[in-house]
Structure 1
Amino acid sequence: MRVGRPWTTFGRGACVLLLLGVTGCSAASGDEAPERQDSPLAAEASLRPPRAVDSILSLFDQTASVVEGEVTDVRSEYSPRTGPWTVVTLGNVRAHLGAAPRELRLKQAGGVLPDGRQLVVSHVPRFVRGGRYVVFLRNTGWSLSPVLDEHAFRVESVAGREVLVGAEGGLVAGLGSAGVRQTAPVFETVDLMGARPALRAEAQARGAPEGMEREAFLSLLQSHLRARGLAVTGAFREEPVTTASSLSVPVTPAVASPVVPGAVPLQPERDVPPGQP
């Protein structure tokens, strides 16, 4: 069943999808939302604007810290003023570059609406509850996610080696002039419910391409900074800029479409079942 084209542009080429019949999630109403959700957001004028990450220098220049932590909680927050957000809590955090507290809240655009539908924003990384991640945190203003350009890499064991997996399922393979290099996809992408992805069938049949071990990649980051005489600077900001609101996006579901559990939404590129990337 098709329910129309509920997507539109949001920020730097991002798209928004309004999915019907999402279950297994909860969203607070405006009255039930945590008080901090309605606190004043960061003043936009005082923050350096983000730029595209198109080189290793632009990567380091916009990085406040590189941290590693475990996803201890993923929850939705909603208020009439700012719309739906998903808050990912990282616990047992340690900073490999820069500084960070022992626990972090990563607040990202999109989440569950009061009527049970889910607003999904592209270019915002999805996290697996219980997964361990290496995350690059922004030192700039932001409106979608404090994670720098989807640089949230899940730690996985492949052939007895700890490797890092990117948003599209590829393994981190090193650093190049354009930034972090990744292999062709090895794992499936994280679905909307946050289940841990499986190895792709072709990777199981032919063997996964070689990715860098986690410790080797972190050591390589530090070596690049030392060789170039650079350091990550600035501070990670927990709140988006004042203009950020999921509700500012004119997302329009299909005309006269009821909320139908199990309905298949039409996405920009292909039809897929709910809960799939």
Structure 2
Amino acid sequence: MITETGSLYVVATPIGNLDDISQRAISTLQQVQWIAAEDTRHTGRLLQHLSITARTIALHDHNEKHRAASIIDKCLAGESVALVSDAGTPLISDPGYSLVRQCRAAGVRVIPIPGPCALITALCAAGLPTDKFHFIGFLLPKSLQRQAQLAAVPNGVGTIICYDTARRIKATLQDVTEVFGPERELVLAKELTKTFEHIEYGTAAQITAWLEHDPQRCQGEMVLMIAPTPKPDGDVSETVQKTLQLLLAELPLKKAAALTAQIHDEKKNALYKLALQWAGTEE
């Protein structure tokens, strides 16, 4: 329900399939006095589909800092405002960051209305590690910039996720090869939740070949995911070793190895052998 005092609602909207909008999002958009939209014409089509007639105001990268003041004034005067982007969750590679910070500083309550987000939608279907991931947003336009951007990602952050355009995706795949090598596992998700949704798995060369097989494939919105650096066989991180050491102080060797493996998703046998080495014994 809309609060009695004005609030800013950060409302996620569909990334493609209009059926993905939540009932809570619809209810919020119906009740607010204003909707701040990245592109009022684009959002207007969604509102028309939902038979919503709320007034809209434009809030995008070029006017956000200036427009934020008037939105805050509306909220302080008791009116509620919904912030939406063209698709997905606002602020995730979309405008809204400055507005939310200014609202917080002004004492305006910010209420998230969760829903679709392209990076999470892609990740959950990629079959890549999800316990840790590193999102770098849209890749930069020039090749050397992209390579530097990718090379700056530290090791150990998990799956790397980025957005890219259809026009640049093949060049980006070449840059990924330069930075991470030709054998790194990749997943490309395109047109998520739309008619031509597709998720392609493979190396950069394999995905490039798939794109080139049909020019129609190199269209639409792209989410590129890069698998974490493979660990060499027998390589155990310092964090895992520390866990194993702590458990060995309290538990039998086999039990300590099994629990450490479960905690860190490691191979039990490898940890058991490492514990034996520390104990100075052999199997």
The interval holding the TM-score normalised by the smaller chain is under 0.3
Between structure 1 and structure 2, the one with the greater Rg is: 2
Output the TM-score relative to the length of structure 1.
Answer: 0.22
If each structure's strand is expressed as a fraction of its own residues, which one has the higher value?
A: 1
Output the TM-score relative to the length of structure 2.
Answer: 0.21
If each structure's helix is expressed as a fraction of its own residues, which one has the higher value?
A: 2
Structure number with higher relative contact order (C-alpha < 8 Å, ≥ 6 residues apart)? 1
